[in-house]
């Protein structure tokens, strides 16, 4: 899940602030945790992590990964439990019932932790600066550009697409933003990050993801919201590049850390010998 979607979820969950928990059920390792009487405070995001804070000094930390979601439910069954469609019940992981008639429901949420708010650094302290720092939903008030650039360039031989995906460098870019950024900057995805101008790359990425969050554009990168036309290369394997007409290439994910599905245009994003300043050819050489 991309960072802008997580920040959007944080904004939605923050509308519950002021409500008090009347019942909480966890179908995971937190089973038995007692939240009754706790009043919800704001929910904040750091990259892809959510921090739902309670007024008693506790935080419910969650990470949605690809398929998890938090839903606010207003309809309930006679026994007080949320009225959910039957097909969703196998994915139910967390139910937090509130005194205002709403419930917070976690569906397929793979990671949850309950910890003291003062200890939030234990779950997000390893992350790089949040690319959406400064937003009302962010844990960070400002974006530390120098820290971000230092982290991005720490391993200069690492492929740029993998570096962008590593949340320990900068937090918030998911696969879509990493792939689209490489295209828009004309970068072969496996180009060593040490050969990349990082500041303009980061500036463009932050501009795009902020626009998606603030205008709720559905993470479109082309400016066209129509499905199939909303991304430059993502999901468009063997289709003509919108810029040059060359067929977009695709590499499936592998088991290596931060190795995700990658799409790219071999003409717009050529392999390049930066040290000689010459193109090594437009044909794909792979990673």
For residue range 124-159, what is the model confidence (pLDDT) as tens digits? 999 999 999 999 999 999 999 999 999 999 999 999
What pLDDT is attached to residue 86? Answer: 92
For residue range 32-89, what is the model confidence (pLDDT) as tens digits? 999 999 999 999 999 999 999 999 999 999 999 888 999 999 999 998 889 999 999 9
Contact between 193 and 150 under an 8 Å Cβ cutoff? The reply is: no
- Count of C-beta atoms within a 10 Å radius of residue 67: 11
Asked if 55 and 105 sit in the same domain, the reply is yes
Asked if 120 and 151 sit in the same domain, the reply is no
What pLDDT is attached to residue 277? Answer: 45
Query: Could you tell me if residue 287 is inside a domain?
Result: no
pLDDT at 261 over 80: yes
Burial zone of 69 (CB within 10 Å; 0-12 exposed, 13-18 middle, 19+ buried): middle
pLDDT at 278 over 90: no
Query: Could you tell me if residue 285 is inside a domain?
Result: no
- Mean pLDDT, residues 248-270 taken together: 88
pTM of the predicted structure, to 2 decimals: 0.89
Asked if 50 and 101 sit in the same domain, the reply is yes
Task: Say how far residue 82 (Cα) sits from the centre of its chain.
Answer: 27
Count of structural domains, the chain:
2
Average predicted confidence (pLDDT) for the chain: 92
- Residue written as tokens 């230092």? 150
What pLDDT is attached to residue 286? Answer: 47
Contact between 264 and 188 under an 8 Å Cβ cutoff? The reply is: yes
Query: Could you tell me if residue 281 is inside a domain?
Result: no
CA distance linking residue 127 with residue 170, whole number of Å: 7
Question: Number of C-alpha atoms within 13 angstroms, CB side, residue 133?
Answer: 15
CA distance linking residue 45 with residue 51, whole number of Å: 6
Contact between 177 and 231 under an 8 Å Cβ cutoff? The reply is: no
**Which among 93, 125, 157 is the end of a domain?**
125
Residue 255 pLDDT class (50, 70, 90 cuts): low
pLDDT cut 70: percent of the chain above it: 93
pLDDT at 285 over 60: no
* Residue 237, domain CATH: 1.10.8.50
> Between 229 and 59, whose confidence is greater?
59
Short-list 54, 65, 58, CA closest to 13: 54
* Residue 71, domain CATH: 3.20.190.10
Lowest mean pLDDT among 10-19, 24-33, 247-256: 247-256
What pLDDT is attached to residue 273? Answer: 54
Asked if 71 and 154 sit in the same domain, the reply is no
Contact between 103 and 92 under an 8 Å Cβ cutoff? The reply is: no
Question: Number of C-alpha atoms within 13 angstroms, CB side, residue 99?
Answer: 12
Edge-to-edge strand ranges of the sheet holding 92-98: 21-26, 92-98, 103-107, 69-73
What pLDDT is attached to residue 256? Answer: 65
> Between 47 and 253, whose confidence is greater?
47
Which residues form the domain of 218?
A: 145-264
What pLDDT is attached to residue 201? Answer: 97
- Mean pLDDT, residues 198-206 taken together: 97
- Mean pLDDT, residues 76-105 taken together: 94
């Amino acid at each position: 899940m991309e960072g802008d979607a997580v920040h959007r979820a944080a904004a939605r969950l923050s509308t519950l602030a002021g409500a008090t928990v009347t019942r909480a059920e966890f179908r995971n390792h937190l089973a038995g945790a007692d939240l009754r009487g706790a009043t919800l405070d704001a929910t904040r995001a750091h990259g892809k992590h959510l921090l739902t804070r309670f007024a008693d000094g506790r935080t419910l930390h969650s990470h949605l990964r690809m398929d998890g979601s938090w839903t606010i439910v207003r309809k309930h069954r006679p026994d007080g439990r949320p009225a959910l469609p039957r097909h969703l019940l196998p994915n139910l992981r967390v139910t937090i019932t509130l005194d205002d008639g709403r419930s917070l429901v976690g569906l397929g949420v793979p990671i949850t932790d309950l910890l003291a708010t003062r200890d939030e650094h234990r779950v997000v302290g390893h992350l790089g600066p949040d690319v959406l720092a400064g937003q009302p939903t962010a844990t960070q008030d400002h974006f530390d550009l120098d820290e971000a650039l230092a982290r991005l360039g720490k391993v200069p031989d690492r492929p740029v697409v993998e570096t962008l995906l590593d949340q320990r460098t900068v937090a918030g870019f998911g696969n879509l933003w990493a792939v689209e950024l490489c295209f828009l900057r004309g970068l072969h995805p496996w180009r060593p990050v040490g050969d990349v101008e990082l500041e303009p790359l980061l500036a463009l990425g932050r501009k795009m993801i902020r626009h998606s969050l603030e205008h709720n554009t559905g993470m479109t990168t082309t400016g066209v919201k129509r499905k199939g036309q909303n991304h430059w290369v993502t999901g468009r394997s063997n289709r003509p590049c919108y810029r040059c007409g060359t067929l977009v290439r695709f590499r499936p994910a592998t088991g290596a850390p931060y190795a995700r599905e990658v799409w790219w245009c071999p003409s717009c994003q050529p392999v390049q010998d930066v040290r000689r300043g010459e193109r090594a050819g437009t044909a794909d050489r792979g990673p």
